[in-house]
Structure 1
Amino acid sequence: MEYRLLGGSGFMVPALSFGTATFGGGTDFFRAWGATDVAEAKRMVDLCLDAGLNMFDSADAYSVGMAEDILGAAIKGRRNDLLISTKATFRVGKGPNDVGSSRHHLIAACEASLKRLGTDHIDLWQMHGFDALTPIEETMRTLDDLVRAGKVRYIGCSNFSGWHLMKAQAIADRYGWTRYVAHQAYYSLLAREFEWELMPVGIDQKVGTVVWSPLSGGRLSGKIGRNRVVPAGSRHAQLGTMGPEYPQEQHYDIVDVLQTLAEETGRTIPQVALNWVLRRPTVSTVIVGARDEAQLRENLGAVEFVLTPEQVARLDEASYRPPTYPYWHQRRTSSDRNPPPFK
């Protein structure tokens, strides 16, 4: 397994992390993802550690805490062998303060996650979404307090816009508080809008990207494509499209190129799609999930090869989407002063 620095920190994380949204299946939504129990989770953890994948990502909102409960049970007795990243902000109860990034909620959420996970610290704690009702100063001060207390080692955010992230960093710098070193974001061949603003901000602010849903909810699994309909019972069939609708023909074109490259490299379509994401700027780690051992082993194989520049260029061309304003205007009128994050 390759290990990379997380953003501008000195914290090394594996190129692949394991996502636990499939643990528990405590709600209809998460049951469509999976319903891994403790025994299965222990086996998944074993396989990951054997492969050098030592970071496990969760959230208090996954199956209303069940995912953290199961992860905690699965890693009992070997906490020092691995890294834990988890998240808070989304609603976890019916009360008016059971949601958001206020001091009240974050302190309670952190203590609850520590208890469920059976640990005294969280290696990477991320705000699951932006809370526009809580002053950013309140959130960043609370996070800094938790870092100073030793309950959290590093902090990150998730699903922020560029200005959300930049304002939080500016406030942290103003007061000498802990900065975000990670942004957990949706990025794939079907979600390249991440490159328009969030990737440049990540480069500028030394924020590492923790990629979620690199296969776009199964749309890049190889099971969907030209003359291949959505499989019955799949997560995509149950929950629908991940993100906005993508032009169907271009989706099929991308899958066609993935199929060709899979044949050229002797790999599978998901492995090629994951490998493409792994090589992009700012990407520190890519979260992979799995319903079973076979799927996990396949995903782990994504780090075993490197696509050639020519192969990457073919995927870039097939997945290209014209940027929205003001990015198309910047590229058209002042690309020399506003270069894209990569060529």
Structure 2
Amino acid sequence: MFTVVDGDRVERIDARPGPGGRPFAPLDRPLLGWERKPHGWCRDDACLPAARAAAIETPDGVDVAAFAELTGHVAVVDAAERALALAAAAPRLTVAEAPDFELDGVRLADFRGRKVALVFWASWCGCRYDLPAWEERHAALRDHGFTVVSVACDRSAGDARPWIEEANATHPALVDTEGVVAELYNVINVPTVVWIDEEGRIARPQDTQTATDLFRSMNGLDSQESYAALRRWVVDGDAGLDRAQVREHLRVPTAEEQRARAHARLAVWLAREGRDEAARRHVAEAAALAPHDVAIRRGLMPLTGDDPFGDAYFALRDELEKAGIPIYRPLPTRPGTSV
């Protein structure tokens, strides 16, 4: 048996190690929600033609990792732990339509007709102190057809809940324990804010915004400037970027970033299972693939016994600064201005 970790879904499949330790599953059983039929592998109305699947079907069965990649995923295999993790090979992220999601019983589509600020934060980041200020912005602007939806990038809901309760949040305050929404929006650090207009289009892509000036000496960000920009968008309809600029600044994930997310996903599952040494291997693999992804690297620090507020974080900052990799990525506030 192998375990497949795919976002918020963990599935045990009947598979055995084949060449290179890769899992091979029987041809006559469903696999990852797909079923083999005479004309190919099918799930609902989608079918993978038999001719395309033929190369991964062997006397040992079907190569599970290769099958996952044919169905639009990247796959990371840990043969020793009998586990593999998946991430989307090419998440759907365009300016035309913000990816929908459902988390904690809330769907993004529920807010169609209102402007939405998706606010990504985490308990392991100083941006946790901004949550009450985001609640204040939500309260001040909601009568103008605006909603804050905060998304905590925490691996445990228990880590985020005290900060949500302290903020007395009346806005939808969600916890993305499996990193599903962060993956959809290619969030590589927090705080990151995405603006979504009434028609469900991205009006402002991944932007480093703060709601207080607590850490202005470190990040150089002006919370009042970001609030003024938010008001202009909500009240006057001026997002500060034209559509061409939105398209230019939208960060679409690379294959390496997605493979790093699969490694991170596997690391978290292994740690939850008490397999700490194996988890550390995948933490290191994720960092090697996406060294710039602070959300992954800092978010996984507790798995290796490091303090995300301590020396390990400042060592990460020094590493990125020496490599010329920006930690914060604010966008221009007015059309025609530069970052």
Q: Same fold (TM over 0.5)?
A: no
TM-score class normalised by the smaller sequence: under 0.3
The structure with the larger Rg is 2
Quick check: which one's helix share is greater?
1
Quick check: which one's strand share is greater?
2
